[in-house]
Amino acid sequence: MYSQIFRLWMLVALLWVPFLAFAAADLEINTPAIGSLKMTMQQRHDQLAGHYASGAVGLTRDGLIAMRDAALVPLAQRQAVNGLVAAENQDRRALYREIARANGHPEWEEEIRTTFAQRWVQKAASGWWYQNQSGAWVRK
Amino acid sequence: MILLAFFSSGVEAGQITLSIDDISSPAFHAKAISATLDGPDFSRLEARIGELSLRERTWRKVRLTCVKTQWNNGEIRCDQGELDLGEKLPVRFVYQQQSKTLALTLDFPQGETWQLGAQWGKPGWKVRVEARNGQVMRLAGFLPQGGIRPTAGTWSGSISLDGSRTELGSVIADAVFKDIAFADASGLHAGEKIGGGVRCDVSRRKDGWLWRGEVDWKSGEVFWQPVYFADGGHRFVGQGSLEAGLLRVNQGNLRLAGVGEAQLSGAWDMAGRGLTDFDLKAAGLDLTGLYKVLIKPFLEKTAFAKLKSKGEADLAWRYRDGVTTEFDLSLRAAEFIDEDQRFALHGMNARIPWSNTEERQAEFGFQSGEVLHLALGKTRVPLTMKGWQFSTSDFSIPLLDGRINVDGFTASRIDGVWQWHFSGGLAPVSMERFSEALKLPLMHGTLSGIIPVVSYAGGNLKVDGALLFKVFDGTVVVKDLSLLEPFGRVPRLSATLDMRNLDLDLLTSAFSFGNMQGRIDVAVAGLELSSWRPVKFDAKVASSPGNYPKKISQKAVQSISSLGGAGAAAAIQRSFLSFFEQFGYDRIGLSCVLRNGVCLMDGVEPAPHGYVIVKGGGIPAISVIGYNREVSWDELLERLKRVTQKNVKPVIQ
């Protein structure tokens, strides 16, 4: 009986190991690469903010952004906005990879991306669009 | 063609009623049809269709009424009727019983008219639709779901169809469009204010169809992800066939405004394989338009995304069974300038006749160019190609007043991934020209070196062996150099640097650091850069072994002291030592171990509460002692920048 309870506790403890390990990830960690990525993302944000507000661009559930409704962007600007979305996603992917690397755990990249996906939504302004867990677009 | 499922009729006093349960044909389907004639001379007609389906579109409770129907020698005429399709529309029609012809006209507000002419019987049938200012949105319901939908605009012209009892025989269309807008659900394929014309003639042959067509896109903008056409002026004329799900262009001519004209042919598998065969020939294409409209959108994530281009190009391209088998590209007087000023090529000429099976010789060259503000001279590169394997014989690129020699460059693409390698050398480049080009403080001496094997594979660049340069009368050896993702968002570089016997006089005279005489060795082990900024290294600067004059100016003392903080420098400035311009020294040494943005510093030897950076020797002698062991790297850079700025002058008090 005692050994069964012990095994159960061990199992529970083992199940928590990956979460405990990830909980130690420093998401605010700063390296020259992270600093440089954050700076370019900050600069780009000024160009994207209007499109978040209009609903043309939304936050995806995997920590990236996507053209949600291109029809809200004048035809002549759609190519440029597509370019902005592609560049932003390139930076976001690099940011998650760099934070994982800087924490000394490149394998944490996916978890970091998931955490950031939730952060972006929390930080989003009212009226912006984001994807919920089932992938449907929801207005904040 | 027509199946009558149930037919009944009845005649009562002053009224005739006809009802049909079901009519179906390949083109349409109608259910619950009834027609009633009553009134004086049976002049009042009312026809009802419970459900009418035409291709993808269905109407319910369709009703046609005509209060003044004329019956005359087998002709039924209605000059003032009304058709209720959910929207009530004025309608006119004439039906000739003998010839089985129907002419029907729908009049909409604002001069919009649609006319339908139909004739059936033996041997077949004909339908002609004509429109004047017809709203294209009325056609939306006839188009497949999920594709492109017209959202605005009008058309005028005609579409004629004919066929036999069992099948469609031909379609002829001739129409002009005005202010057309269309979009798909995602908005990534859309057009606005499009004006132009379409003519096409499609006719059935034994095993399929033959077509001839002409599209004239005169005005309006289109975004077809990722390509954007700001205006019209484009035209396509072609002919071909459609059989067994394969749409062929046997002969086509495409003219794109601002780009040029191309002859093309090819096959498109409509069952899902997409483009299978394609041939294109174009001469005298304008590189400005070609790059801007068709090439740039596909290079968004590369270093070639922001170019200004000029010149002419000829292109022949052959594509078979989903694979490029040959292309022949020629560039004439081409120019490519990066808007971010990273590189530029002027007067570029190229002839690249590539084949995926045969060995071919290519050649490209340029009159001049620049990379990171370093001027490149006239260069010619002969290239041998065999499929996706490329190699050059030895060539050189003039760089400032020297040249880069490239020996044995080879490149190949395996499973869609590029890899290449080369070796070479740098023939002497004067440091004066080099520093001037890079807007650095004027440096003296020459820069030359040996480039061992440089290889690129899997997105990473690696240098096998040691890069050797001669600068400041000494040598610089770069070892274990590798670059991860050099073209990615976060390039990472790692290397080991070993500099020997650098002449301090030459080095310090380049910067406004204060003069020093002597020689130093610099060793940087485990250097790691991320986004071209240092993350980690173990660096050590020390006097080179040997006998040579060792002098340090007061300004240099102050500069070195300033690196350790303002306190030490001020102390020297106020002491009697400020009377001397130069001092002797025995050894210089400073090390920095960079970790987590902090430089852990040390010197030649320990000193009380610090470390010795300059150990005095001779008369007058001076020792410089550093007290700060940990300095933020950013702060250190800031201090270095301050002391090397030309306008910083020593303060003697």
SS3 per-residue string spanning A3-43: HHHHHHHHHHHHHHHHHHHHHCCCCCCCCHHHHHHHHHHHH
Which candidate, B327, B328, B348, places its Cα nearest to that of B337? B348
Q: Which of B223, B228, B301 sits opposite A86 (nearest CB)?
A: B301
Chain B residue numbers with beta carbons less than 8 Å from the beta carbon of A90 are 301, 489
Contacts of A75 in chain B (CB under 8 A): 190-192, 221-223, 228
- Interchain CB distance below 8 Å, A32 and B230: no
Q: How far is B215 from chain A (nearest CA, A)?
A: 22
Cis peptide before B608 (omega within 30 of 0): no
All residues of chain B having their beta carbon less than 8 Å from the beta carbon of residue A83 are 300
Residue that has been written with the tokens 């520093």 in this structure:
B435
Of B85, B109, B141, which residue is a domain's last?
Answer: B85
- A84 CB contacts (<8 Å, ≥6 apart)? A44, A47, A48, A51
A76: chain B residues, CB-CB within 8 Å = 221, 223, 228, 230
Residue B293 is classified by DSSP as: I
Nearest Cβ partner for B489 among A72, A78, A91:
A91
Pairing, β B209-224 against β B168-183:
unpaired
Identify the closest residue of chain B to A30 by CA–CA distance.
B596
| Residue-wise pLDDT tens digits, A56-106 | 999 999 999 999 999 899 999 998 998 899 889 999 999 999 999 889 898
Please report whether residue B604 resides in a domain: yes
CB contact under 8 A, B301 and A79: no
Closest-approach residue (CA) in chain B for A102:
B596
pLDDT on residue B217 = 97
Please give the Cα distance from B499 to B601 (Å, whole number).
19
Q: Is residue B479 part of a domain?
A: no
For residues B560 and B577, is the Cβ–Cβ distance under 8 A? no
Smallest Cβ–Cβ distance between A31 and the set B192, B488, B535 belongs to B535
3 state DSSP class of B506 = helix
Please determine, for residue A24, whether its predicted confidence score (pLDDT) is greater than 80.
Answer: no
Taking an 8 Å cut-off on Cβ atoms, the answer to whether A33 and B533 are in contact is yes
- Which chain A residues are Cβ-neighbours of B192 within 8 angstroms? 75
**What is the mean pLDDT, run by run of 10 residues, along chain B of 653 residues?**
43 72 74 85 86 80 90 87 86 88 89 91 86 90 79 95 85 96 89 96 91 97 92 96 92 96 94 90 96 88 86 96 93 94 94 95 96 92 94 94 93 90 90 84 78 87 84 88 83 92 86 86 94 90 92 84 58 59 87 92 88 82 82 84 53 33
**Which pLDDT value is given to residue B501?**
94
- A 66-125 residues with CB < 8 A to B: 67, 69-73, 75-76, 78-79, 82-83, 86-87, 90-91, 93-94, 97-98
Out of B64, B85, B106, pick the residue that ends a domain. B85
- Give the distance from residue A81's alpha carbon to the nearest chain B alpha carbon, in angstroms: 11
The pLDDT, as a whole number, for residue A19 is: 44
Distance from B135 to chain A by nearest Cα, in Å? 21
Report d(CA B602, CA B593) in Å as an integer. 9
CB B355 within 8 A of CB B325: yes
How far, in Å, CA of B336 to CA of B565, rounded?
48
In a domain, B452, yes or no: no
In whole angstroms, how large is the CA radius of gyration of chain B? Answer: 41
Integer Cα distance of B156 and B70 in angstroms: 30
Neighbours of A85 (CB within 10 A): 20
Q: Is the pLDDT of residue A118 over 50?
A: yes
Return the exposure string of B335-351: e unless at least 16 CB atoms fall within 10 Å of the residue's CB, then b.
bbbbeeeebbbbebbbb
* CB < 8 Å to B300, chain A: 82-83, 86-87
Pick the closest to residue B403 from B420, B385, B379, B387 (CA basis).
B379
Q: Residue B218 domain-assigned?
A: no
- Nearest residue in B to A103, CA atom: B596
Beta-carbon separation of B228 and A69 below 8 A: no
Domain span holding position B5: 1-85
Q: Do A70 and B186 touch (CB under 8 A)?
A: yes
The tokens for B589 are 């040494």
Q: What's the pLDDT at B287?
A: 97
In Å, how far is A14's CA from the nearest CA of chain B? 32
CB contact under 8 A, B531 and A33: yes
Peptide bond into B620 cis (omega under 30): yes
pTM of the model: 0.78
Size of interface A-B (CB pairs under 8 A): 74
| Letter string b/e over residues B257-295, b meaning 16 or more CB atoms within 10 A of that residue's CB | bebbebebbbbbeeeeeeebbbbbebeebbbbbbbbbee
Facing residue for A79 by CB, picked from B223, B301, B531 = B223
What distance in Å separates the CA atoms of residue B197 and residue B235, rounded to the nearest whole number? Answer: 10
Number of domains in chain B: 2
Question: Which domain-ending residue is among B26, B52, B85?
Answer: B85
- Is residue B136 domain-resident? no
What's the pLDDT at A7? Answer: 58
Q: Based on the number of CB atoms within 10 Å of its own CB, is B585 exposed (0-12), middle (13-18) or buried (19 or more)?
A: buried
Cα distances from B330 to residues B355, B360, B385, B411, in angstroms, run 14, 14, 15, 20
Predicted complex ipTM: 0.73
DSSP string, B552-586: EEHHHHHHHHHHT-HHHHHHHHHSGGGG-SEEEEE
**B180 assigned to some structural domain:** no
Query: B632 lies in a domain?
Result: yes
Within B270-322, strands assigned E span 274-286, 307-320
Q: Pick the residue from chain A with its C-alpha nearest to B227.
A: A79
Q: Please tell me the predicted confidence (pLDDT) of residue B135.
A: 93
- Which residues are CB-neighbours of B282 under 8 A, at least 6 positions away? B260, B261, B262, B263, B313, B314, B315, B316
- With contacts defined as CB-CB under 8 Å, which chain A residues touch B223? 75-76, 78-79
What is the 3-class SS of B518-555, one letter each residue?
Answer: CEEEEEEEEEEEECCEEEEEEEEEEECCCCCCCEEEHH
Residue B73 lies in a domain: yes
Asked whether the beta carbons of B420 and B456 are under 8 A apart, the reply is yes
E strand or H helix that includes residue A46: helix A32-54
Distance from CA of B184 to the nearest CA of A (A): 9
Query: Does the beta carbon of B191 lie under 8 angstroms from any beta carbon of chain A?
Result: yes
Residue A129 is inside which H or E element, if any? Answer: strand A129-131
- Burial state string for B523-543 with b = 16 or more CB within 10 A and e = fewer than 16: bbeebebbbebbbebbbbbbb
Kind of pairing, strands B246-256 and B75-84?
unpaired
Of B191, B223, B530, the CB nearest to A32: B530
pLDDT of residue B621: 75
Query: Which of B490, B493, B536, B634 to mutate to test binding with chain A, by most A CBs within 10 Å of its CB?
Result: B490
pLDDT at B648: 37
Q: Cβ separation of B228 and A78 shorter than 8 Å?
A: yes
Give the one of B226, B530, B597 whose C-beta lies nearest to A33's C-beta.
B530
CB pair distance less than 8 Å for A70 and B188 = yes
